[in-house]
């Protein structure tokens, strides 16, 4: 019975890793939509989002079956509970990638400042890395890696603050660029939310390992 439980829990980890990779791919494609929009890329992003939704349902079903197993130990219950919570945040990350792609359709290539676009690209890489590390921390039960995700959120937040400042300066110099600037800001905001969801992922990893979502009270964040 124990071996069967461990095998099924390992299958959850494998699928969670796949779901995280799908989210990363969705983010990358969404950012590419800004530079090179295409109907084919838009369709691929939509397909990836559907795959993320399907994976969420599959993992949820796997977790429910594990809950019904006889006499799982406390650490097992935390691992399954954490996975159930994490798939919700991963699904939202997939949604935000699709949101970015939707906004990208209205961003005329070359209109937004090169400075803010470079920052958005760097911000997207940082956000994707947060997703990757949070999921890896779950699979490998790596508390140190999970805690590094929270620290990385400061980097994503700093990008958002910088992008917001740059866009405001651009609009003050050319009011006609206001709509493009606001659309670019929305992209940055969605990336900032992806960072927040990644922090949630990391907190559930901490819960799985220690029984508590937070290392210290001062690190708690209100969502």
Average pLDDT over residues 128-133: 98
Q: How confident is the model at residue 108 (pLDDT cuts 50, 70, 90)?
A: low
pLDDT at 140: 96
Closest CA to 181 of 170, 190, 197, 194: 170
Distances (CA, A) of 110 to 62, 119, 182, 184, 191: 46, 15, 15, 12, 21
pLDDT at 104: 87
pLDDT at 222: 41
The CATH number linked to 191 is: 1.20.58.220
pLDDT at 146: 97
Q: Does residue 184 contact residue 163 with C-beta atoms inside 8 Å? A: yes
Q: Does residue 157 contact residue 192 with C-beta atoms inside 8 Å? A: yes
HSE-CB at 89 with a 13 A cutoff on CA atoms is 25
Task: Indicate whether 219 pLDDT > 50.
Answer: no
Q: DSSP secondary structure string, 143-207?
A: HHHHHHHHHHHHHHHHHHHHHHHHHHHHHHH-GGGHHHHHHHHHHHHHHHHHHHHHHHHHHHHHH
Task: Indicate whether 111 pLDDT > 60.
Answer: no
pLDDT at 175: 73
Q: What is the DSSP letter of 222?
A: -
Q: Does residue 223 contact residue 196 with C-beta atoms inside 8 Å? A: yes
Higher pLDDT pick, 217 / 89: 89
Domain that holds residue 120: 2-219
How far apart are alpha carbons 110 and 103 in whole angstroms? Answer: 15
Higher pLDDT pick, 198 / 182: 198
Average pLDDT value over all residues in the chain? 90
Domains of the chain: total: 1
Q: What is the pLDDT of residues 15-74, one digit of tens each?
A: 999 999 999 999 999 999 988 888 999 999 999 999 999 999 999 999 999 988 766 788
Q: What percent of the chain has pLDDT over 90?
A: 69
């Amino acid at each position: 019975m124990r071996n069967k439980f461990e095998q099924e829990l390992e299958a959850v980890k494998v699928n969670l890793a796949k779901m995280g990779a799908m989210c990363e791919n969705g983010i990358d494609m969404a950012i590419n939509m800004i530079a090179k929009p295409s109907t084919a890329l838009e369709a691929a992003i939509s397909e990836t989002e559907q795959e993320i939704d399907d994976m969420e349902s599959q993992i949820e079903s796997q977790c429910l079956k594990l809950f019904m197993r006889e006499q799982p130990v406390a650490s097992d219950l935390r691992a399954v509970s954490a996975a159930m919570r994490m798939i919700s945040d991963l699904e939202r990350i997939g949604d935000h990638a699709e949101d970015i792609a939707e906004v990208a359709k209205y961003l005329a290539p070359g209109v937004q400042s090169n400075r803010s676009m470079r920052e958005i690209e760097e911000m997207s890489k940082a956000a994707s890395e947060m997703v990757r590390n949070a999921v890896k921390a779950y699979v490998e039960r790596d508390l140190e890696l999970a805690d590094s995700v929270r620290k990385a959120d400061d980097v994503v937040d700093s990008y958002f603050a910088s992008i917001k400042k740059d866009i405001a300066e651009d609009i003050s110099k050319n009011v006609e660029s206001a709509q493009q600037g606001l659309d670019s800001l929305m992209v940055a905001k969605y990336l900032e939310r992806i960072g927040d969801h990644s922090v949630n992922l990391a907190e559930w990893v901490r819960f799985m390992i220690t029984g508590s979502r937070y290392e210290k009270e001062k690190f708690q964040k209100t969502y």
